[in-house]
């Protein structure tokens, strides 16, 4: 079978940026989680864990081991795609997709389409220490805000949370049924797409831990369900061709010959002093190679 146009690698084989420093993230705020546990009774905590957003609490209780070098390694084998809300990487010759579909499969969160997903920003930790006389529902609302701030938005704890969210949580039923999975995926995707992987260190917003456990290739659905709807996304025929190839030829085997060796980003690697183990003054640059 003649291959159609496919996306290029982001980095040329053998020239992927080295993981010199760790990736920073804020979706594991021990202060916020401790304040949440101190605030709620055992029954209230279990109710929150059993809710539609409880997957984040269950994940926290697993004691997940973060490995930033592995995640950086994964990100550096990406394909350079146009889609705003999807990542594709290669594992040897096999394309591995991370889209809203895979995110929903991993988390079980509501990822349904909704118009005007984002609305614009309340300090939360302080509220935990003055909520003793609050009603059970109000304490549950505070717990939901904590989950949102720590895992869905996943920014530095001193960052204010959107005011419209505080209004939304007043209606518990609507809040619980809101497509927070779609929101969490968008926050993470937007942050990852904006990162310069050639830098010696960078911070990722959102629930970045899910990247480390995304081992599925593609979650199989009907062909017309394989392309999640997003406002503001762009057409990317080369990326769509990967899915179409697998649907048109279920026995298709990917090989290294399917992918170009040369990447679209040129990397000038930084030199590291063997004595001080410090980065020298030689800068790392990434420039898009124009065809």
pLDDT digits (tens, 9 = 90+) for 159-181: 556 666 667 788 888 889 999 99
- Between 287 and 149, residue with greater pLDDT: 149
Answer yes or no: are the C-beta atoms of 187 and 154 closer than 8 Å. Answer: yes
pLDDT tens, 117-135?
A: 865 345 566 667 777 788 8
Answer yes or no: are the C-beta atoms of 83 and 97 closer than 8 Å. Answer: no
Whole-number pLDDT of residue 165 = 62
Closest-CA residue to 73 (of 10, 8, 7): 10
Place of tokens 């911070």: 203
Candidate ranges 28-32, 71-75, 279-283; pick with highest mean pLDDT: 71-75
One DSSP character per residue, 11-28 reads: E-TT-PPP--SPEEE-S-
pLDDT tens, 17-51?
A: 887 767 888 887 778 888 888 889 999 999 999 99
In this structure, of 40-54, 72-86, 207-221, the range with the lowest mean pLDDT score is 207-221
| Helices of type H across 6-135 | 30-39, 42-49, 55-61, 68-76, 100-107
Whole-number pLDDT of residue 217 = 65
Compute the C-alpha angle 64/197/258, nearest 5°.
Answer: 95
The radius of gyration computed from the CA coordinates of the chain, to the nearest angstrom, equals 21
Answer yes or no: are the C-beta atoms of 270 and 20 closer than 8 Å. Answer: yes
- Between 199 and 289, residue with greater pLDDT: 199
The span from the CA of 62 to the CA of 57, in Å, is 9
pLDDT tens, 77-108?
A: 999 999 999 999 999 999 999 999 999 999 99
The first and second tokens of residue 129, run together, are 């220490």
3-state secondary structure labels for all residues of 191-203: HHHCCCCCCCCEE
Separation of first and last alpha carbons in the chain: 25
Q: Would you place residue 288 in the very low, low, confident or very high pLDDT band (cuts 50, 70, 90)?
A: very low
What percentage of the chain reaches a pLDDT higher than 70?
82
- Strand runs labelled E in 138-270: 202-204, 263-267
The span from the CA of 196 to the CA of 119, in Å, is 27
Instruction: Supply the pTM of this predicted model.
Output: 0.82
- Strand runs labelled E in the chain: 9-11, 23-25, 87-91, 94-98, 202-204, 263-267, 286-288
Answer yes or no: are the C-beta atoms of 213 and 55 closer than 8 Å. Answer: no
């Amino acid at each position: 079978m003649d291959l159609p146009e496919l996306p290029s690698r982001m980095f040329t084989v053998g020239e992927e940026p080295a993981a010199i420093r760790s990736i920073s993230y804020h979706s594991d705020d021990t202060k916020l989680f401790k304040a949440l546990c101190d605030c709620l009774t055992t029954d209230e905590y279990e109710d929150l864990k059993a809710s539609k957003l409880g997957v984040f609490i269950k994940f926290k209780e697993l004691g997940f081991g973060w490995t930033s070098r592995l995640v950086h390694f994964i990100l550096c084998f990406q394909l350079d795609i146009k889609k705003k809300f999807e990542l594709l990487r290669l594992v040897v010759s096999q394309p591995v997709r991370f889209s809203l579909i895979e995110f929903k499969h991993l988390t079980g969160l509501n990822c349904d389409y909704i118009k005007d997903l984002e609305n614009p920003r309340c300090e939360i930790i302080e509220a935990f220490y003055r909520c003793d006389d609050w009603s059970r529902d109000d304490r549950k609302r505070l717990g939901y805000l904590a989950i949102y701030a720590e895992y869905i938005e996943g920014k530095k704890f001193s960052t204010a949370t959107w005011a419209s969210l505080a209004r939304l949580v007043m209606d518990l039923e609507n809040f619980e049924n809101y497509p927070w999975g779609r929101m969490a995926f968008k926050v993470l995707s937007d942050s990852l797409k904006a990162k310069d992987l050639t830098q010696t260190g960078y911070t990722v917003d959102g629930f970045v831990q899910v990247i480390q456990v995304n081992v599925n290739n593609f979650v199989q659905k009907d062909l017309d369900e394989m392309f999640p709807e997003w406002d503001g996304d762009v057409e990317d025929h080369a990326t769509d061709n990967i899915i179409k190839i697998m649907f048109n030829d279920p026995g298709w085997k990917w090989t290294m010959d399917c992918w170009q060796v040369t990447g679209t980003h040129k990397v000038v690697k930084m030199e590291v002093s063997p004595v001080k183990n410090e980065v020298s003054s030689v800068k790392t640059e990434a420039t898009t190679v124009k065809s």
